[in-house]
Structure 1
Amino acid sequence: MKKKEANSNVKLNRSLGLWSALSLVVGTIIGVGIFVRQAAVLNDAGSATGAMLAWLAGGLLTLAAGLSIAEIASQIPATGGLYAYMEVIYNKFWGFLSGWMQIIVYGPAMIASLGAYLAILLGDFFHIQPQWNIPIAIVAVVAVGLLNTFPNRFGAAFSIVTTICKLVPVAALIIFGLFFGHADAFTQSVSDVHSTVGGFGVAMLATLFAFDGWILVANLGGEIKNPKKMLPRAITFGILAVIAIYMLVSYGVLKSIGPQKIHELGTNAIPYMANKDFGVIGGKILSIGIIISIIGCMNGKIMTFPRIMYAMAKENQLPFSKQLAYLNPKTRTPIVSIAAVLAIVIIMICFFDADRLSELCIFTVYCFYVMAFFGVFILRKRHPDRKRVFSVPLYPFTPIIAILASLFVICSEIGSDFIGVVCSLGIVALGIPVYYFEVTSKKNKAPK
């Protein structure tokens, strides 16, 4: 009995500072998108100038979203991020569905797809046969997961180190592109791109997906020092840093090899630039940089998504909530929730197309984003006299821009992948009977 009571008093360790939170924001955003989406954005935009404007527009829209969430985070600094916000702003039902979608499919699928891509890169780098890709992906995911069973300062330190490491090849691309690139790159046009051009809106949509991941740091609200101040700062400065990085990388690549070459090479544009500017060694260094980037991105996601499961289990909203809400007394980490998320990830790596599953959930993620952005107006109306530690700048225009940007993503998804949208809604709907059994029925059966 005493052991049980002692365990119930164990709480998450509130030890993460601003630099740890910043590295998580930057680390979870910068994965492989900036390395592989250059041609896609350029092709849809139709010109170098259009591509640069698309990256800037995507960044500014992401910043509007981040500033809106930052105001909410300063008022609801709880573990679980979006799940906690939806529950407070609306009700337990909407909170549960947002959390369910993230822990059952979206989060595990994102981690699984990163693991699968990492295995491919490691296989190419070390000349390993493709049949070893699945075991390599599983080992990589489990290794990063084990790291996160230690006190959160280890995962945070790893995030800082990998973020710094991934910025080294990024800095090299920027410097060589800016100082050794062709000055006339922006006067060139992509002669045959207009046959498949998607337009500026589609180009901006591609950049929004490359910027996604910034909100995950909010899942650690219960482990960040002074979260009412630190979360808004980490989200705001983290997104601003990524905008600057993405713009400089895109500008450097365009200056170095020009839009026509980028169009011809597709996803191989940046590796070509690395080999061109640095030789074979440069290509190897870039590969190492991308590998580290993926590992850092994976670490951020494995560190944050299990916190949603833990927060839901603490509210007794999931099957086996008692076990999933367990915190290791020594490390103060939700080791059972971490293991549960990793188990789902491994199943996806072995039996499903993780990339496709993560794409299916983009629609529902942005639906919940829209609801969260409306929460800025709801909370202000509900608590008109509440003193806010952080207020979104240029209110009400900033949250309105965030809402419109999310609606643009939602409409684009409906238009381009209607079947996927239906499947995505079906995945969320599977959580409804779970909610009514685990939350409603248990509540009614509880002794009064």
Structure 2
Amino acid sequence: MEANINMSQEVQNNEQLERTMTFFPALSTVMGTVIGAGVFFKAASVAAVTGDSSLHMFSWFLGGLISVCAGLTAAELAAAIPETGGMIKYIERAYGKFAAFLLGWAQVIIYFPANVAALAIIFGTQFVNLFALDSKLVLPIGIISAVSIMLLNFLGSKAGGRIQSISLVCKLIPLALIVIFGLLRQGDVDVSLIPIEAGKNISGGFFPALGAGLLATMFAYDGWIHVGNLAGELKNPSKDLPKSIAVGIVGVMIVYLLVNWAFLGQLPMDQLAGNETAAMDVSNKLFGDMGGKLVTIGILVSVYGTINGYTMTGMRLPYVMGLNNDLPFSEKLVKLNKNKIPYIAGVLELVIAVLLMLSGSFDMLTDMLVFVIWIFYTLVFIAVIKLRKVEPDLERPYKVPLYPILPIIAILGGVFILVMTLINQFSLAITGIIITLLGTPIYMYKKKNK
């Protein structure tokens, strides 16, 4: 009962948000939400699947362009349906409760735990390399990092918020140093941007390589779907929302292109491809051994903070679904500790994350979560067009510019990513689909009981 009262108060508060936010706070929120650990570590996997600096850079550029169109498109629904639950509410409005449940299920079982698992593996890998420890310690250190963050969050939302504030600064400092010194220091590697082509050692040709490259970059660009939730707090959403999204994601894209240019200028493609310590290697080249270690420590703090962000938000989703009695043992998932934190929901997400850590690598986990979430992202883009026809009288404080061109670009980008993943990584894609569909009997059972 207490949990239900707390949730009703939370919903009421969200419906009475004050419109005090202007353009620049919205812009910083966009960039801070999107920029995470992916920019430091996805360069290695993009290089591995593209095989050439031209296609490598083009994948980052095209990923940013699709993200701009995606963000501007999804923001229309965020402004029109500013309800607690975000994307789940958009999907429910357009496709019904079953599709919304599958999205929530996929986020609980795959999206949030896989993010935590993948980032924890990266944290363990960088920690082991920084202090020259045995590689067998990667997994234990990764698990310890995830557990420690969960325990800190159990202390209350303020503890999690402080970690986010500290990690934001530590995230920006290494980025700025790598970009500035990477561009100033003349590397000994020739970087070619034209013609855009896949590496000669890449099997399958240009489009499969581009699809794999896009899938990898989308982990780094992920987060734009949440920026539309600012609509209820903006003074002028019709003007500032599209501007903050467009300028913010373009800004992120520029940062990512500059970081990758710095990487490519210091490491040949064959040394960058698949190199999990590429960020450390580039830092050592730019700043020497000690300077490189300091930058790597900054990156570690950044990764720790990104894990914290997904932990904070991830544990609240099974809690909300538990309030709706959508999941097994819902009565347990809504329990709060003395600091008003849904601790059992948090333990559930942590257990799934640890199991995923034991089962896969960073790239496998991120590719699977990107594939699954882009199924629903693409449905959101289609929903914008669908609701324009089905609910023409729905109040839309913001409408996507250049309609229907931008939604169509977003839809085509999403379909391309999904199709290329099915072609390139069929077993991974099917695994993600099967895990998502496993929620069907649970939905049917719960619906029958309700």
Both proteins in one fold, TM over 0.5: yes
Q: How does 1:155-174 map to 2 (within 5 A)?
A: 155-174=160-179
Tell me the CA shift for residue 54 of structure 1.
Answer: 2.6
Unpaired segments of 5 or more residues in structure 1? Answer: 444-448
Aligned to 2:202: 196
Seen in structure 2, the aligned counterparts of structure 1 residues 367 and 5 have a Cα distance that, compared at 3 Å, is closer
Aligned to 2:329: 320
Contact persistence 1:215–1:235 (CA under 8 A): no
SS of residue matched to 1:288? helix
Aligned pair 1:300/2:305, yes or no? Answer: no
Q: Is the deviation greater in 305-314 or in 7-16?
A: 7-16
Aligned pair 1:108/2:113, yes or no? Answer: yes
Seen in structure 2, the aligned counterparts of structure 1 residues 162 and 348 have a Cα distance that, compared at 3 Å, is same
Aligned to 2:287: 278
Aligned to 2:221: 211
Tell me the CA shift for residue 408 of structure 1.
Answer: 0.5
Aligned partners of 1:265, 1:38: CA distance in 2, in Å?
A: 7
Contact persistence 1:23–1:163 (CA under 8 A): no
Aligned to 1:442: 449
Seen in structure 2, the aligned counterparts of structure 1 residues 68 and 340 have a Cα distance that, compared at 3 Å, is same
Seen in structure 2, the aligned counterparts of structure 1 residues 155 and 57 have a Cα distance that, compared at 3 Å, is same
Aligned to 1:60: 65
Aligned partners of 2:366, 2:235: CA distance in 1, in Å?
A: 29
* 1:422 aligned partner, one-letter code: I
Cα offsets for 1:339-385 (capped at 9, x unmatched): 32123223333x42264455334433222121111111122223323
Tell me the CA shift for residue 22 of structure 1.
Answer: 6.5
Cα offsets for 1:237-263 (capped at 9, x unmatched): 543332121022123334x437xx233
Aligned pair 1:253/2:263, yes or no? Answer: yes
Aligned partners of 2:377, 2:31: CA distance in 1, in Å?
A: 19
Aligned partners of 2:420, 2:3: CA distance in 1, in Å?
A: 51
TM-score, reference length from structure 1 = 0.83
Aligned pair 1:242/2:252, yes or no? Answer: yes
Q: Give 2:373's match in structure 1, choosing from 365, 375, 381.
A: 365
Aligned pair count? 434
Seen in structure 2, the aligned counterparts of structure 1 residues 195 and 11 have a Cα distance that, compared at 3 Å, is closer
Aligned partners of 2:84, 2:7: CA distance in 1, in Å?
A: 17
Aligned partners of 2:152, 2:27: CA distance in 1, in Å?
A: 19
Seen in structure 2, the aligned counterparts of structure 1 residues 54 and 298 have a Cα distance that, compared at 3 Å, is same
Aligned partners of 1:217, 1:300: CA distance in 2, in Å?
A: 14
TM-score, reference length from structure 2 = 0.82
Aligned pair 1:342/2:350, yes or no? Answer: yes
Aligned partners of 1:175, 1:429: CA distance in 2, in Å?
A: 46
Tell me the CA shift for residue 192 of structure 1.
Answer: 11
* 1:285 aligned partner, one-letter code: L
Aligned partners of 2:118, 2:88: CA distance in 1, in Å?
A: 23
Cα offsets for 1:235-289 (capped at 9, x unmatched): 55543332121022123334x437xx23344325543332222110122023213
Q: Give 1:424's match in structure 2, choosing from 400, 409, 432.
A: 432
Aligned partners of 1:56, 1:77: CA distance in 2, in Å?
A: 30
Aligned to 1:352: 359
Percent identity over the alignment?
A: 35
Q: Give 2:318's match in structure 1, choosing from 306, 309, 317.
A: 309
* 1:69 aligned partner, one-letter code: A
Seen in structure 2, the aligned counterparts of structure 1 residues 233 and 302 have a Cα distance that, compared at 3 Å, is farther
Seen in structure 2, the aligned counterparts of structure 1 residues 307 and 338 have a Cα distance that, compared at 3 Å, is same
* 1:241 aligned partner, one-letter code: G
Aligned pair 1:404/2:403, yes or no? Answer: no
SS of residue matched to 1:319? coil
Aligned partners of 1:262, 1:424: CA distance in 2, in Å?
A: 30
Aligned partners of 1:45, 1:8: CA distance in 2, in Å?
A: 46
Q: Is the deviation greater in 45-54 or in 205-214?
A: 45-54
Aligned to 2:89: 84
Tell me the CA shift for residue 42 of structure 1.
Answer: 4.8
Aligned partners of 1:72, 1:22: CA distance in 2, in Å?
A: 19
SS of residue matched to 2:83? coil
Aligned-CA RMSD value:
3.7
Q: How does 1:382-397 map to 2 (within 5 A)?
A: 382-397=390-405
Unpaired segments of 5 or more residues in structure 2? Answer: none
Aligned partners of 1:9, 1:43: CA distance in 2, in Å?
A: 48
Aligned partners of 2:367, 2:175: CA distance in 1, in Å?
A: 26
